[in-house]
Amino acid sequence: MINIQRSSIPEDHPVRLVFHQLTERGMGELQLRDKDTIDYVTNLLIEFIHPDNLYRIQDDDGKRLRYVSEILEQAGREMSSALRRECYRHLGDLALFNLGLFPESLTYGRQTVSPSFYAAQGRRSYTIVAEMEMAQPDTEVFRKLSDHFTECVAGLNWVKLYINDPFYQYMFREFQVI
């Protein structure tokens, strides 16, 4: 089961512009200037502002799935190709987000995950999404995300550096951006 909870942040909210500029700048550091990829990653950041969106996939009992193995198992159980595609898309998104902004979370606590395994699962998930339904209009962006997964993670590492910069933190607080 997947809770479809998208961002409730208005299109004209300043955080969208800030995240777009930071993503564009971070990806630009790596010479990755593909508009579709930058827009997708920006929207991912906006979507994951709400923690409920991070763990919106649930098992049959309603328990939120947090780990790669649980999400893969759920994807294998889904009968509908649309739900299976959404599980894989979410796994790719979660891997990209965590590796890019919170890589330390993978090696903390009881559920330690190898970052290279996590990256491989994210890349593979985006490939599966791109191959599942070729007629989908967003198929090409998932192929790009898969092909440039490592660069996208590095671009988000740059975004993390910008967000943690005291100047940006001051601006966020001063202008109530986040």
Answer yes or no: is 92 within a domain. yes
Q: Take residue 101 and report the two structure tokens written for it.
A: 């902004």
Residue 135 has pLDDT above 70, yes or no: no
- Section 60-77 average pLDDT: 83
- Check: CB of residue 120 under 8 Å from CB of residue 126: no
Whose structure tokens read 């919170």? 102
Answer yes or no: is 5 within a domain. no
Query: What total of structural domains would you count in the chain?
Result: 1
Using CA atoms, how far apart are residues 42 and 111, in angstroms rounded to an integer? 28
- Section 137-151 average pLDDT: 91
- Check: CB of residue 64 under 8 Å from CB of residue 57: yes
- In SS3 terms, the chain reads as CECCCCCCCCCCCHHHHHHHHHHHHHHHCCCCCCHHHHHHHHHHHHHCCCHHHHCCEECCCCCECCCHHHHHHHHHHCCCHHHHHHHHHHHHHHHHHHHHHCHHHHHCCCCCCCHHHHHHHHHHHHHHHHHHCCCCCCHHHHHHHHHCHHHHHHHHHHHHHHHHCHHHHHHHHHCCCC
- The residue that leads in pLDDT, 97 or 166, is 97
Percent of the chain with pLDDT over 70: 90
Answer yes or no: is 4 within a domain. no
Using CA atoms, how far apart are residues 56 and 89, in angstroms rounded to an integer? 12
Answer yes or no: is 45 within a domain. yes
Using CA atoms, how far apart are residues 131 and 20, in angstroms rounded to an integer? 27
pLDDT value at residue 176: 67
Residue 78 has pLDDT above 70, yes or no: yes
Neighbours of 138 (CB within 10 A): 13
Answer yes or no: is 8 within a domain. no
pLDDT value at residue 134: 67
Answer yes or no: is 106 within a domain. yes
pLDDT confidence band for 68 (50 / 70 / 90): confident
Least confident of 61-70, 78-87, 164-173: 164-173
pTM beyond 0.85: the answer is yes
Answer yes or no: is 130 within a domain. yes
Range of the structural domain that residue 78 is part of: 14-174
DSSP bridge pairs for 57 = 2
- Section 142-146 average pLDDT: 95
Answer yes or no: is 144 within a domain. yes
pLDDT confidence band for 7 (50 / 70 / 90): low
pLDDT value at residue 178: 55
